[in-house]
Structure 1
Amino acid sequence: MQGLHLTADLHGCRCAAHWLLDAERLGQACLAAVQAAGLQAVGTLFHSFPATAAGPGGVTATVLLAESHLCVHTWPEQRAVTLDVYVCNFGGDQSPRARALLASLLALFDAEQVHEQALQRGSPHLP
């Protein structure tokens, strides 16, 4: 078991508001990014949260990948987004595809501030 887990915390997103508010539209953009990166979607869940006193409700877009998953959470009242991309490298190194997927989403949200992290998961020595 090995894999690359990428996360990014985005603040000051300058994208159009619908990317932060419209679960179905964001989900379709995620599916297009997955396909463009050469990964395989096998399931989805796109969810809108209700507005609160703090502002409009955000969305979560989750794409289950044959290689693992993509998850996007938005906070429109803060113009913030968290991204989570995890790929398993069981049949081959999927790391370049994971990085391409993350880059595509970073471009979509056009954030003023981005904090990225990468974690190598698993061990090459385990069966």
Structure 2
Amino acid sequence: MSHNALFRSGKGLGTPGTTREKEKTNAASLEARDDHFVVKNGVRCAGAHLIVDLYQAERLDDIAHIEETLRACVDAAGATLLHIHLHHFEPNGGVSGVAVLAESHISIHSWPEHGYAALDIFMCGDAVPDACVPVLRAAFAPKNIAVSELLRGQGAT
């Protein structure tokens, strides 16, 4: 077993054993540890991953509007923004980018010439990725929006 596997599992970290009090304190802190897993629809998982498709949408070439919308999604979801990186493609004006979150990410890739955008929203912990959908609807006015949800990390222990 590698050193990293030992570290991830919490084994071999030198749990203090000199007094009973130290052992109790360590066990209590491990039980109280917040691993950011959640229970969604009765399933314990790492978080919800939304795949969002916007059809016949507007403003998909407006990089400032897209950045503003990603920030609004982060706020609505109660997530923590770490960084946004967006790239504007020429000549079609499509935008590709990501908002990196403490809770994971929101990514977008747009094809304004087709009125289509693909978004990927994954969040763990208390963040609410579903709250991004109304924000996207208001920002891009799609004629149709398709949302699929995956619960990630269901088999993790």
* Unaligned runs of at least 5 residues, structure 2: 1-36, 38-45
Higher alpha-carbon Rg: 2
Cα distance per residue 1:79-121 (max 9 Å; x no partner): 11111110123xxx43xx2100232112211211222100001
The answer to which structure has the higher strand fraction is 1
Summarize the alignment of residues 1-127 of structure 1 with structure 2, pairs less than 5 Å apart. Answer: 2-13=46-57, 15=58, 19-51=59-91, 56-89=92-125, 93-94=126-127, 97-123=128-154, 126-127=156-157
Q: How many residues are aligned here? A: 113
Q: Larger relative contact order (C-alpha < 8 A, sep ≥ 6)? A: 1
- In 2, Cα distance between equivalents of 1:22 and 1:46: 11
**Is 1:24–1:46's contact at 8 Å kept on the other side of the alignment?**
no
Structure 2 residue matching 1:21: 3-state secondary structure: coil
* Unaligned runs of at least 5 residues, structure 1: none
Query: Identity over the aligned pairs, expressed in percent?
Result: 33
**Is 1:27–1:61's contact at 8 Å kept on the other side of the alignment?**
no
Q: CA deviation at 1:62?
A: 1.1
Question: Runs of at least 4 residues of structure 1 off by over 4 A?
Answer: none
Task: Give the structure-1-normalised TM-score.
Answer: 0.79
Q: CA deviation at 1:77?
A: 0.4
Give the alignment's Cα RMSD to 1 decimal.
1.7
